[in-house]
């Protein structure tokens, strides 16, 4: 007959296998250089995807966007795709986190984008809907002189190794200009993909809060910026694209497991953009460009700053214990132990 002390020992062994071992394995994870290169390449592709979204979202006129123009011809689509993939990644701003994830920055001047669209139009477009001069209107849809986007990626959980004695490099730098950022220890409990997901949540939260702040600004005694934006679909989409282009000031990973994303924009920039959008797309009579000057008089702020927050939740958990084969085997062993323990309890 099995004694109660034997059952206690079984439970101790079970938890020792399942939890502490996983923690010890994770602390000893090492990233190999070629896996880092894969992560950097994935981050670059993410940056190019974000850049494509920004460029394709620019308005050409009240009815069409760059996306519509690109869809006119396969040759145009290929030409623009090559242009986007040729945009420079600023290696001086590449950041490596100690969990193996990578963040890159891509930049391109707005004038270069307009020039490329004109070139593609002259070379491949055979219709009558667009002319070369139409692309000049892109300047009116944004106050940006340079488009800056970020890309990030995490190393796949099965790319880690757990035996470090044969490897001297834990986090090598890709070049002399790259940066390595150490995260608070609380983030060691989560995988890099979880952290990036939490950051995306915080970024979306920041842009949502910024929209609420901007749309709440007063234009007249009875109307706000929200009323103006909702008066016209093209105005709404143009302002939405403008908000997505507001740059991130800072990303902070806190010791309590919260990630904070700060974004800000000057009130003067907002007023300038609203005036431009009004001249370009508004054909009503309720507002004039002078009405937007009221924004500066109705607030004592010069800069609107908001803070978005995010955290790892159960919905986004993809902990490496479930992805790595070594941990799958560990769980399998522990599951067998549970079944055997249950049999012992049933007998007793």
Q: pLDDT class for 158, splitting at 50, 70, 90?
A: low
Q: Which of 320, 277, 318, 274 is nearest to 296 (CA)?
A: 274
Q: pLDDT class for 242, splitting at 50, 70, 90?
A: confident
Percentage of the chain modeled with pLDDT above 70: 73
Coil/strand/helix, residue 182 = coil
DSSP characters over 101-166: -EEEEEEEEHHHHHHHHHHHHHHH--SSS--GGGGGGGGGG---SEEEEEEEE---GGG-BS--TT
CA–centroid distance for 92 within its chain: 19
How confident is the model over 99-128, as pLDDT tens digits?
778 899 999 999 999 999 999 999 999 988
Whole-number Å distance between alpha carbons of 27 and 200: 25
| Residue of 332 and 146 predicted with greater confidence | 146
Helix ranges, the chain (H):
4-18, 20-27, 33-56, 66-70, 74-85, 110-124, 192-215, 225-229, 233-244, 267-281, 294-298, 320-323, 325-347
Decide the pairing of beta strands 95-97 and 102-109: antiparallel
Sheet holding 248-253, edge to edge: 248-253, 258-266, 303-311
Count CA atoms within 13 Å of residue 195 on its CB side. 28
CA–centroid distance for 73 within its chain: 30
Place of tokens 């009405």: 291
How confident is the model over 254-277, as pLDDT tens digits?
988 899 999 999 998 899 889 888
Render the burial of 132-154: b for 16+ CB within 10 Å, e for the rest. eebbebbeebbbbeebbbbbbbb
pTM assigned to the model = 0.68
How confident is the model over 16-70, as pLDDT tens digits?
444 444 443 444 455 566 777 888 888 999 999 999 999 998 888 777 889 999 9
Q: Where are the domains of the chain?
A: 31-182, 185-317
Q: Which of 35, 20, 30 is nearest to 163 (CA)?
A: 30
* Residue 96 confidence (pLDDT) above 80: yes
pLDDT of residue 145: 86
Whole-number Å distance between alpha carbons of 46 and 151: 5
What is the C-alpha radius of gyration for the chain, rounded to an integer number of angstroms?
27
């Amino acid at each position: 007959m099995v004694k109660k002390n034997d059952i206690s020992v079984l439970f101790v062994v079970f938890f020792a296998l399942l939890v502490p071992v996983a923690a010890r394995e994770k602390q000893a994870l090492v990233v190999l250089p070629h896996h880092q290169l894969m992560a950097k390449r994935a981050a670059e592709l993410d940056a190019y995807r974000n850049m494509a979204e920004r460029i394709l979202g620019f308005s050409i006129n009240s009815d069409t966007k760059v996306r519509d123009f690109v869809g006119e011809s396969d040759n145009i689509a290929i030409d623009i795709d090559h242009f986007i993939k040729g945009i420079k990644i600023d290696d001086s701003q590449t950041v490596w986190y100690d969990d193996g994830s990578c963040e890159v920055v891509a930049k391109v001047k707005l004038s270069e984008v307009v020039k490329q669209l004109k070139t593609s139009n002259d070379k491949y477009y055979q219709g009558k809907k667009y002319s070369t001069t139409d692309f000049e209107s892109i300047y009116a849809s944004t106050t940006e002189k340079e488009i800056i986007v970020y890309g990030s990626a995490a190393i796949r959980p099965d790319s880690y190794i757990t035996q470090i004695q044969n490897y001297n490099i834990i986090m090598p730098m890709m070049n002399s200009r790259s940066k390595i950022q150490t995260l608070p220890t609380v983030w060691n409990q989560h995988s890099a993909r979880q952290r990036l997901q939490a950051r995306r949540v915080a970024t979306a939260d920041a842009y949502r809060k910024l929209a609420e702040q901007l749309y709440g600004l007063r234009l007249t005694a009875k109307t706000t910026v929200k009323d103006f934006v909702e008066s016209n679909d093209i105005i709404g989409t143009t302002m939405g694209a403008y908000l997505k282009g507001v740059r991130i000031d800072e990303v902070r990973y806190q010791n309590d497991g919260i990630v904070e994303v700060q974004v800000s924009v000057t009130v003067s920039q907002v007023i300038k953009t609203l005036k431009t959008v009004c001249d370009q797309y508004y054909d009503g009579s309720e507002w004039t460009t002078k009405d937007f000057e009221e924004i500066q008089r109705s607030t004592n702020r010069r800069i609107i700053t908001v803070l978005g927050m995010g955290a790892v939740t159960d919905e986004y958990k993809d902990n490496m214990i479930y992805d790595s084969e070594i941990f799958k085997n560990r769980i399998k062993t522990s599951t067998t132990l549970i079944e055997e323990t249950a049999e012992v309890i049933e007998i007793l």
